[in-house]
Amino acid sequence: MIQNSFVNDLIVNTNNVFNFASGTDIDTSCVLVIFGGTGDLTHRKLMPALYNLQCTQKLPGHFAVVAIGRKNKSNEDYRYEVYDSIKHFARFDMKEKTWHELRQKIFYQQFDFNDDSGYIRLAGFLQKLDEKYQTRGNRIFYLAVAPEYFGVIVEKLQAHGMAHNGASWQRVMIEKPFGRVWPQRGI
Ligand SMILES: NC(=O)c1ccc[n+]([C@@H]2O[C@H](COP(=O)([O-])OP(=O)(O)OC[C@H]3O[C@@H](n4cnc5c(N)ncnc54)[C@H](OP(=O)(O)O)[C@@H]3O)[C@@H](O)[C@H]2O)c1
């Protein structure tokens, strides 16, 4: 059965409006891929939300997170930064045991959103995570990025075979704002 709270907590914590799995029987085992993994939204909202879910044992049993950004850093560097963000912004106090459970599922990948070779590496890495975490090819691609990147990321995911929705499922979550900005109307 679906664990709606998993997706809902992400949505509540990010004001996202896309509840992809509501009312369905989708298996929520998955890799959450965060484009914009070094950004403010990820550090202040998404990672603390994941920690909150880990505290309440509402993350899927088979789960991993891959954060993507341009900055060059190791998994350990990235996890250290996430630890700090969780300490500041999570709803629950930092518990080392809970953090340890979450941290080993968090990975960092460095590439530019326009760079095809980055998507090729990502596809291979996700397959390895599927084997390790039994995430079955299921993905949430969370675009915590400026709106001008929505198009290029989605097109490259498709072009590199990461959005096929066959035996597995893939979903894209996009952060507001979306649509056009019309400064003359003050929007
Ligand atoms: N922050 C919030 O609380 C909040 C709330 C609601 C909605 N939003 C929306 O969420 C989106 C993200 O906001 P944010 O505040 O998190 O922005 P941000 O702090 O500027 O983060 C942008 C992220 O995108 C990455 N990035 C930018 N260009 C890239 C490229 N060409 N290739 C690879 N990575 C690239 C950055 O990576 P590097 O820094 O590593 O280069 C960084 O991780 C925006 O659309 C914003 O309007 C934000």
Ligand 1 atom index nearest CA of 113: 32
Res. 164 pLDDT band, cuts 50 70 90: confident
Residue 64 lies in a domain: yes
**What CATH number did the domain enclosing 124 receive?**
3.40.50.720
d(CA 19, CA 60): 16
Q: What pTM does this model have?
A: 0.88
Q: Give the Å distances, CA to CA, from 108 to 11, 75, 103, 186.
A: 22, 5, 11, 38
Between CA 94 and CA 89 the distance in angstroms is 10
Give the tens place of pLDDT for each residue, 31-55: 999 999 999 999 999 999 999 999 9
The rounded Å distance from CA 172 to ligand 1 centre is 16
- Which residues form the pocket of ligand 1, taking CB atoms under 6 Å from any ligand atom? 36-41, 44-45, 69-71, 112-114, 144-147, 175-177
55 belongs to a structural domain: yes
- CA dihedral sign, ordered 132, 30, 125, 166: positive
State the Cα torsion 127-129-130-134 to the nearest 10°. Answer: 170
**What domain count does the chain have?**
1
Asked whether residue 89 is domain-assigned, the answer is yes
Q: Is 44 within a domain?
A: yes
Domain of 84, in residue numbers: 4-17+27-185
Alpha helices in 15-74 (DSSP H): 40-41, 47-55
CA of 37 relative to ligand 1 center, distance in Å: 8
Domain-embedded: residue 22: no
pLDDT, tens digit, 9 for 90 and up, residues 68-93: 999 999 999 999 999 999 999 999 99
Q: Atom 34 in ligand 1: which residue has the minimum CA distance?
A: 69
Is residue 159, in this structure, part of any structural domain at all? yes
- Return d(Cα 110, Cα 21) in angstroms, integer: 29
